[in-house]
Amino acid sequence: MKIEKNAIPALKNIPHWFDIVSDKNGNSFTGLRAYRQSAFEDFNRLGFPNKKMEKWRHTDLSASLSFDYSLATQDFNMQDVLSDVFECDVHDLESFVVNLYKGRFVFKENNLFTLPKGVIVGSISAAFDQYPELIEKHFGKYGKTDKNAFHALNSALFLDGLFVYVPKNVIVEKPLQLINAVGASDDVFVQNRNLIVLEEGSQLTLIHCDDSYNYKRSFTNSLTEVFIGDNASLDHYRLQNINNNSTLISSLVVEQERNAQLSTNSIILNGGLIRNETYTKLNGEGANASILGVYLADKNQHIDNQVFVDHAVPNCTSNEQFKGILDDYARAVFNGHILVRKDAQKTLAYQNNANIILTDKAVINTKPFLEIYADDVKCSHGATVGQLDENALFYIRQRGISEDNARMLLMYAFAADVTQEIKIDSLRDRIEDMVKKRLRGELSICDQCVLQCSSPEKYNFEIDMSKI
């Protein structure tokens, strides 16, 4: 359904931006212009989603779209950007860092690197020129521009993003970290497009951080297309900590071949409106997808997680686990969809969404949804909405721990089901630390910003040991 054009200020610049973008980028790559054009037409047909759409019933974008955003079109050199913007605060994390600022690539000298063993990492717009054959094979093949308005908008307007190519049987030891930061003097509209290609038997760990470093409003629409070849494995993390004025639509679209392993973990710490869409198609037998998430929301934040797992072939497994804690006026939405196609026998699928509501003002809407067309399957789902267990609370307090700390401990343990699954030690420690801070309300106090917060000491519970 289309909304009146003049009702959405954010919409009015889009045709103009489209003209700028389609003239500017990747023109040496044949087909891109046509792709953008058709995506733009799709977007014009689809329009921005509204609450009358089933998938957007509980997420209202009208407030986010009521501003006049600007598009960052210039390239950034490292010197132009505050150097500390990208100072990662995950201590001891050795990673290869790639920075995007307002959706544009930030580079020192080069914007496309070839690492040892033929791994390619860098700007996708540079890759259009240098590796057209790799791009052609995978780019635009997984996103659904004809059905998803944000995929269409992204395809029409993206300027840059991350491109990763891991050749056959190459194991990338060091995690790759993509930091996408927004915030500057103006309200920005960011379309960020990433493509990750893992060839047969390869392995990669990717940390995708979305951060804002001031209170400036932003609207980010990120689309990440991922191809995981036979026996390849991707360990993916989404770390989202943006200010309360920002909107983030983050789509991850994955195609998994035979025995491909996907593990994706969304850690949502702060954000005005965050919507994560995760689609994975299990396209080869033996593929496994593990999709986890934890969201901690307070104030007027709105967190929306949409997961679609498509079991297209037999003998695949999937596991979804989302946990959320809602405080103040926060709203959360979970929409899990497992599709088991005809003949996708011996499918094993599990889906769970657990929520804790701390106030009478917070709202959760959850819809775990199964659509099954094969008979020899084991699919189950569960959803709960509740509170901290009074008995557990009593038990802890009985042992001399203050009520506040006891509540903290329980909430922390609740989130730990997901955070413990983080495989990188330093990242896990940091996230657990941030979860603790977030639960104490410190993270939203300290200027919204994890990037500037660099206290290395670990937080200890204020438990008076002498009382135990």
Partner 1 sequence: MAQDDKQLIQEVTQSEYKYGFITNIETETAIKGLTEDTIRFISLKKTEPEWLLEYRLKAFAKWKEMKQPNWAQLKIPEIDFQEIIYYAAPKRKKELESLDQVDPELLDTFNKLGISLDEQKRLSGVAVDAVIDSVSVKTTFTETLSKHGILFCSFSEAVKNHPDLVKKYLGMAVPPSDNFFAALNTAVFSDGSFCFIPKGVRSPMELSTYFRINAANTGQFERTLIIADEGSYVSYMEGCTAPQRDENQLHAAVVEIIAMKDAEVKYSTVQNWYPGDKNGRGGIFNFVTKRGICKGDHSKISWTQVETGSAITWKYPSCILSGDNSIGEFYSVAVTNNHQQADTGSKMIHLGKNTKSTIISKGISAGQSQNSYRGLVKMTKRATNSRNFSQCDSLLLGDKCGAHTFPYIEGANKSSIIEHEATTSKISEDQLFYCQQRGINQESAVGLIVNGYAKEVLNKLPMEFAVEAQKLLSISLEGSVG
Binding site for partner 1 (CB under 8 A): 54, 342-343, 345, 355, 357-387
The C-alpha atoms of residue 294 and residue 297 are separated, in whole angstroms, by: 10
Closest C-alpha to 119, from 134, 106, 107: 134
Q: Which is nearer to partner 1, 85 or 356 (CB)?
A: 356
Closest C-alpha to 222, from 186, 182, 260, 185: 182
The C-alpha atoms of residue 458 and residue 433 are separated, in whole angstroms, by: 7
Q: Which is nearer to partner 1, 384 or 455 (CB)?
A: 384
Radius of gyration, alpha carbons of the chain: 22
Q: Which is nearer to partner 1, 274 or 362 (CB)?
A: 362
First vs last C-alpha separation in the chain: 61
**Could you tell me the smallest distance in angstroms from the CB atom of residue 353 to partner 1?**
8
**Could you tell me the smallest distance in angstroms from the CB atom of residue 377 to partner 1?**
6
Q: Which is nearer to partner 1, 235 or 327 (CB)?
A: 327
**Could you tell me the smallest distance in angstroms from the CB atom of residue 338 to partner 1?**
9
Q: Which is nearer to partner 1, 82 or 370 (CB)?
A: 370
Rounded (10°) CA dihedral 76, 82, 88, 91: 140
Task: With beta carbons less than 8 A apart as the criterion, state whether 314 and 283 touch.
Answer: no
Cα-based distances in Å from 61 to 9, 145, 219, 298, 436: 12, 19, 11, 18, 30
Q: Which is nearer to partner 1, 169 or 359 (CB)?
A: 359
Q: Which is nearer to partner 1, 2 or 378 (CB)?
A: 378
**Could you tell me the smallest distance in angstroms from the CB atom of residue 340 to partner 1?**
8
Contacts of 390 (CB under 8 A, 6+ apart): none
**Could you tell me the smallest distance in angstroms from the CB atom of residue 245 to partner 1?**
25
Closest C-alpha to 104, from 212, 203, 189, 199: 189
Contacts of 315 (CB under 8 A, 6+ apart): 285, 286, 345, 346, 347
* Residue 447 backbone class (left: φ over 0; alpha: ψ -120 to 50; beta: rest): left
Cα-based distances in Å from 97 to 87, 207, 340: 10, 9, 37
**Could you tell me the smallest distance in angstroms from the CB atom of residue 30 to partner 1?**
41
**Could you tell me the smallest distance in angstroms from the CB atom of residue 386 to partner 1?**
4
- Give residue 10's identity as a one-letter amino acid code: A
**Could you tell me the smallest distance in angstroms from the CB atom of residue 342 to partner 1?**
7
